[in-house]
Chain A
Amino acid sequence: MEIRSKWKLLRFFFTNLFLFAVWVLFTADLSAFSLLAGILGSLLISALTYDIFLSEHQANLRFFLPSFWGLFKFLLFMFLELYKSSFQVLVAVITGKTNPRIVHFRTRLRSDLARATLSNAITFTPGTLTLDLNDDHLTVHWLFCNTTHTKAAGIAIKEKMEKQLGHVWL
């Protein structure tokens, strides 16, 4: 089989698997009729949308299959980081001392999913807000800005998250 059609089949399979898992999770029903309806529905939808769900140039399984131990560690880290920066913003609300600026930096992550997750993680922590993600270029609004230098701002905002995300996706 040619490599492109093989990759197409694999993408179709993973889209189908994902849709079916979500179906089972939401219906919470393991009767034969429900499972059959889920399989038929997910086959139809994945036949129509597999090219949108996993685009062709994401040509590596590690680009969208997470390592689960890494994902667990990343989530724990994010919750810790969330409370830390929330406390910072709470102090800023009371004292009124902020220095809001817009900074730009680049990310090393290669897959689209990892980049989207990084920008969502930056927005998730109060104090930093992603305004734009363009290929590997992020525009971030930072409430406690102490530098507008690209590299220094990147290290201050996303260095730890990026390191953790590098273990989850490529």
Chain B
Amino acid sequence: MSIREIFALICFLIAIIFGLGGIIGLFRFRDPYSRLHAGSLCGTTCALSTFFGLLLLSSSIGMATRIVVIIVFFLISAPTGSSIVGRFIWESNDTEQTKKKKEQVL
């Protein structure tokens, strides 16, 4: 096993740990915002660590460039997506918890 593969495996291990933590948090937390935080643990940290591992394993410059492009688009799309979900919860007054939170702020 080359040193590159060992580092890639470490990256994948980090991804697995954070992904597992994210899924556990998704069920443990009780309000929608906190669940979104746990979801972003899965969605950004786990995915980014996987991408770094793949970048270490990539066999040619062309493939590495494509992974870098994917990372750039991921950096833009992942936070935007979870921000849209959070904004939807913030603007809809349906849940009891959101109402309570808004009263606390205002």
Contact = CB atoms under 8 A, between A and B. Distances in A.
Interface of A: 25-26, 28, 79, 82-83, 86, 89-90, 92-94, 96, 98, 100-102, 104, 119-121, 123-124, 126-127, 129-132, 139, 141, 143
Q: Is the interface of B mostly helix, strand, loop or mixed?
A: helix
Nearest to A144: B37
Contacts, number: 94
6 contacts: A26-B69, A90-B17, A93-B21, A93-B24, A123-B79, A131-B83
Contacts of B75: 120, 124
Nearest to B98: A102
Interface in B4-37: 17-18, 21-22, 24-25, 28-29, 31, 33-34, 36-37
Contacts of B83: 119-120, 123, 129-131
Given A86-B18, A120-B83, A123-B82, A132 B90 contact: yes
Contacts of B3: none
A129 B40 contact: yes
Interface of B: 17-18, 21-22, 24-25, 28-29, 31, 33-34, 36-38, 40-41, 44-45, 48, 62, 69, 75-76, 78-80, 82-83, 86-87, 89-90, 101-102, 104-105
Given A96-B28, A131-B90, A124 B33 contact: no
B75 to A, nearest CB: 7
Contacts of B36: 129, 141
B71 to A, nearest CB: 10
